[in-house]
């Protein structure tokens, strides 16, 4: 085994020049040169967050005839999708629009941003992404920002006997300019800039910087050039771990909460040095609001905060200033982001004493996903062949867990002819006769509470993990194992509040089980009747007959070339496969023809896969026509002749090759479907 040479490794992989670039320092004039070349380095916190999100680009798509933007930032490109958020693009658009409005100075920069939704709905993931996004953005040339420190060649009394005094709140260097010259300065530096970003200077530096600035002005009799000789500008890298520009506050025991955690506290050790507890140099500007200046502060479970803390939020949001103990109002430039769940938000709404906070809050709903393909993406991040190479996850396992979770979140459809499962499929882009995009849009509108209740993704993730641990030795995880785990965990679920809720969840689980039964039967049927061209031929024949029937025309027999009536027996043999009664056959046939006509108007050609019910009926019909070539029911008997075994092996290989099964779950699927047909045969006899 070769020995690792650390010096060689570091020479090849680590660049000192990158470190130097990120830790640039210069004079105030050097900084002005940078500002002149790139005014965007002076952006405020809201502008920086908005630009950071936009820097990753976006994709347009249409959903229910409405244009939706998918911002790639929420795919979490920084950590390869670890915190990626799916399925709530419309709500994320509202979030980005909040930042866009605040960046333009339209008023939302004076508001607290509150992410509101049920537990496990990605509120924390969104907050985490914005925080780490800002960290990463501050290390790029595009997102560079700067602060300053005071320095003196000698140990200065002004700096408390030190040679160096960093700006405790990482202030913007241009805030050192006196108010009476700012307008002229801005006119000069923005001269000729008709479009694009213009430099703006608001507010004052923090009390400690203000004190030192005043002391040097006094020392040099107001000579600003000499004062600026003590200012060193440096690159500012935001970091949550180092508490620079990114703060996080989590409420603790109410009896131990102290507002100094937000606004800083007196450093009692330094009072003897400076002689007074009102000397700003004897104050630690290290509260979450202080250290988050120039960036973002996150309030975890914000509405669990003590009332005194919530009052601090009022000034921090509306006035963009905080009140440290014994000091005047101190200006801040930061995004205030909170998140909370529904019970806490309802408490805020009912508290008449908190009207001021409600008025200063912009609420963005972060609901559960109600679209199946997006919910599946959450679980596929952690449960895939790369992360779990030793256990095969059978087809539909994750989809079935996701199906159940979404069924628990959906409201009962107001239309009596629509089931929850059909509603789920409509939301997922499938079509049903009599339902178009406008109908689906209307379904979403009428379900006001949809996505705010139900099973959280965390529960599904926990139960998938448990299933893997319990059944990992089998070598394959199938939906039945997961269903059993999901059901057994319900009686211990901490968020189930009533027997009715438990019964509802179990009822939805039964629907998901039945759906899986239909799907696995379908897979086996496809493996037996694998010929897609045969299905297309069958479909074309059915459509020709339906057209002739609905338009009261004759159809030409392709063998005898004679005109004949539509083949009623043939049409019913297909329709009966999906339980369409005799009394409903005319409605079903008209729906099919109307749907084909609507597609033709849009310039689209009908494909049997577009209509799930018809697709299913055609497959079942073809399967019935071909299933006698393989006796499925013989699979579960002890004795299988050689010829049948060969046919079974062919079906199994098709399941493995075409449908993603392994040897274990293909055998299980065939046995399960065979047992269903065996029950059906015995019931008939």
Region 500-521: what's the mean pLDDT?
A: 93
Query: Are residues 259 and 136 in contact, defined by beta-carbon separation less than 8 angstroms?
Result: no
Region 607-617: what's the mean pLDDT?
A: 80
Region 566-573: what's the mean pLDDT?
A: 88
Q: Determine the pLDDT at residue 257.
A: 65
Greater pLDDT, 344 or 93: 93
Q: Determine the pLDDT at residue 252.
A: 72
- The alpha carbon of 486 is separated from its chain's Cα centroid by a whole number of angstroms, namely 23
Greater pLDDT, 94 or 563: 94
* pLDDT higher than 70, residue 523: yes
Q: Determine the pLDDT at residue 682.
A: 42
* pLDDT higher than 60, residue 186: yes
Backbone phi, then psi, for 495, in 5-degree steps?
-105, 10
* pLDDT higher than 90, residue 142: yes
**Pairwise CA distance, residues 318 & 296, whole Å:** 16
Q: What is the pTM of this model?
A: 0.82
Q: Determine the pLDDT at residue 366.
A: 93
**Pairwise CA distance, residues 440 & 426, whole Å:** 7
Region 272-293: what's the mean pLDDT?
A: 89
Query: Are residues 528 and 630 in contact, defined by beta-carbon separation less than 8 angstroms?
Result: yes
* pLDDT higher than 90, residue 401: yes
Query: Are residues 74 and 84 in contact, defined by beta-carbon separation less than 8 angstroms?
Result: yes
Region 184-210: what's the mean pLDDT?
A: 89
Q: Determine the pLDDT at residue 635.
A: 57
Longest CA–CA separation in the chain, Å? 113
* pLDDT higher than 50, residue 684: no
pLDDT tens digits, 221-268: 999 999 999 999 999 999 999 999 999 988 776 656 677 888 899 888
| Among the ranges given (350-354, 587-591, 679-683), the one the predictor scored with the smallest mean pLDDT | 679-683
Radius of gyration of the chain (CA): 33
Nearest partner of 243 among 197, 274, 289, judged by Cα: 289
* pLDDT higher than 70, residue 351: yes
Percentage, residues of the chain above pLDDT 90:
48
Q: Which of 293-297, 573-577, 618-622 reaches the highest mean pLDDT?
A: 293-297
Q: Is 426 exposed, middle or buried (0-12, 13-18, 19+ CB in 10 A)?
A: buried
Greater pLDDT, 525 or 461: 461
Query: Binning pLDDT at 50, 70 and 90, where does residue 220 land?
Result: very high
Q: Determine the pLDDT at residue 628.
A: 54
Q: DSSP code of 356? A: H
Q: Determine the pLDDT at residue 683.
A: 42
Q: Determine the pLDDT at residue 255.
A: 59
Query: Binning pLDDT at 50, 70 and 90, where does residue 60 land?
Result: very high
What does each C-alpha distance from 599 to 56, 137, 594, 606 come to in angstroms?
36, 47, 9, 7
Q: Determine the pLDDT at residue 631.
A: 57
Percentage, residues of the chain above pLDDT 70:
94
What does each C-alpha distance from 250 to 247, 257, 685 come to in angstroms?
10, 10, 67
Buried b vs exposed e over 288-318: b needs ≥16 C-beta within 10 Å? bbbbbbbbbbbbbbbbbbbeebbbbbebbbe
* pLDDT higher than 70, residue 370: yes
Q: Determine the pLDDT at residue 460.
A: 94
pLDDT tens digits, 623-668: 777 665 555 555 555 556 677 777 788 888 889 998 999 999 998 9
Mean residue pLDDT across the chain:
87
Region 292-307: what's the mean pLDDT?
A: 87
Query: Binning pLDDT at 50, 70 and 90, where does residue 144 land?
Result: very high
Q: Which of 16-25, 394-403, 563-572, 661-670 reaches the highest mean pLDDT?
A: 394-403
Q: Determine the pLDDT at residue 434.
A: 80
């Amino acid at each position: 085994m070769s020995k690792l040479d650390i010096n060689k490794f570091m020479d090849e992989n680590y660049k000192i020049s990158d470190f130097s670039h990120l830790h640039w320092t210069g004079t105030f004039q050097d900084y002005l040169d940078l500002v002149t070349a790139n005014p965007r380095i002076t952006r405020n916190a809201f502008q920086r967050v908005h630009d950071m999100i936009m820097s990753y680009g976006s994709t347009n798509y249409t959903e229910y005839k409405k244009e939706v933007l998918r911002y790639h930032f929420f795919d979490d490109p920084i950590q390869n999708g670890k915190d990626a958020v799916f399925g709530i693009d419309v709500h994320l658009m509202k979030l980005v629009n909040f930042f866009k409005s605040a960046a333009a100075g339209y008023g939302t920069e004076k508001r607290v941003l509150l992410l509101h939704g049920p537990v496990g709905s990605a509120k924390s993931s969104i907050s985490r992404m914005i925080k780490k996004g800002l960290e990463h953005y501050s290390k790029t040339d595009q997102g560079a920002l700067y602060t300053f420190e005071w320095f003196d060649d000698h140990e200065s009394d002004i700096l408390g006997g030190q040679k160096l005094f960093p700006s405790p709140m990482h202030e913007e260097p241009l805030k050192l300019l006196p108010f009476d010259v700012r307008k002229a300065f801005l006119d000069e530096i923005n001269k000729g800039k008709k479009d694009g970003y213009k430099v703006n200077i608001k507010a004052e530096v923090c009390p400690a910087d203000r004190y030192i600035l005043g002391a040097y002005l006094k020392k040099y009799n107001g000579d600003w050039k000499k004062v600026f000789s003590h200012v060193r500008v440096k690159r500012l890298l935001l970091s949550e771990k180092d508490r620079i520009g990114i703060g996080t506050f989590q409420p603790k025991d109410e009896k131990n909460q102290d507002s100094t955690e937000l606004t800083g506290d007196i450093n009692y050790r330094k009072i003897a040095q400076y002689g007074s507890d009102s000397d700003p140099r004897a104050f630690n500007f290290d509260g979450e609001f202080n250290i988050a200046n120039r960036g973002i502060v996150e309030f975890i479970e914000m509405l669990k905060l003590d009332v005194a803390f919530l009052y601090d939020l009022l000034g921090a949001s509306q006035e963009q200033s905080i009140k440290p103990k014994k000091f005047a109002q101190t200006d801040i430039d930061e995004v205030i982001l909170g998140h909370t769940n529904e019970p806490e938000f309802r408490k805020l709404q009912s508290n008449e004493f908190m009207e001021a906070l409600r008025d200063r809050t912009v609420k963005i709903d972060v609901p559960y996903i109600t679209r199946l393909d997006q919910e599946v993406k959450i679980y596929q991040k952690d449960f895939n062949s790369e992360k779990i190479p030793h256990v095969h996850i059978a087809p539909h396992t994750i989809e079935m867990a996701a199906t159940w979770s979404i069924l628990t979140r959906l409201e009962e459809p107001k239309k009596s002819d629509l089931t929850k499962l059909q509603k789920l499929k409509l939301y997922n882009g499938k079509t049903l006769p009599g339902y178009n995009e406008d109908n689906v849009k209307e379904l979403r509108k009428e379900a006001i509470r949809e996505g705010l209740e139900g099973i959280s993704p965390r529960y599904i993730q926990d139960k998938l993990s448990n299933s893997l641990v319990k059944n990992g030795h089998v070598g394959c995880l199938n939906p039945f194992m997961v269903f059993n785990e999901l059901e057994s965990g319900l009686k211990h679920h901490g968020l189930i509040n009533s027997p009715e809720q438990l019964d509802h969840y179990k009822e939805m689980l039964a629907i998901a089980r039945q759906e899986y039964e239909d799907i696995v039967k379908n897979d086996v049927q496809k493996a037996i009747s694998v010929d897609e061209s045969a299905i297309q031929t069958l479909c074309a024949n059915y459509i020709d007959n339906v057209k002739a029937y609905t338009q009261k025309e004759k159809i030409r027999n392709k063998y005898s070339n004679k005109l004949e009536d539509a083949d009623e027996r043939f049409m019913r043999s297909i329709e009966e496969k999906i339980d369409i009664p005799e009394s409903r056959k005319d409605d079903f046939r008209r729906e099919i023809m109307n749907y084909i006509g609507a597609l033709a108007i849009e310039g689209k050609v009908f494909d049997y896969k577009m209509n799930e019910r018809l697709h299913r009926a055609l497959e079942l019909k073809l399967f019935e026509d071909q299933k006698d070539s393989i006796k499925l029911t013989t699979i579960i008997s002890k004795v299988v002749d050689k010829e049948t075994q060969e046919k079974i092996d062919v079906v199994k290989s098709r399941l493995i090759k075409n449908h993603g099964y392994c040897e274990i779950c293909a055998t299980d699927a065939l046995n399960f479907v065979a047992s269903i047909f065996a029950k059906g045969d015995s019931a008939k006899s």
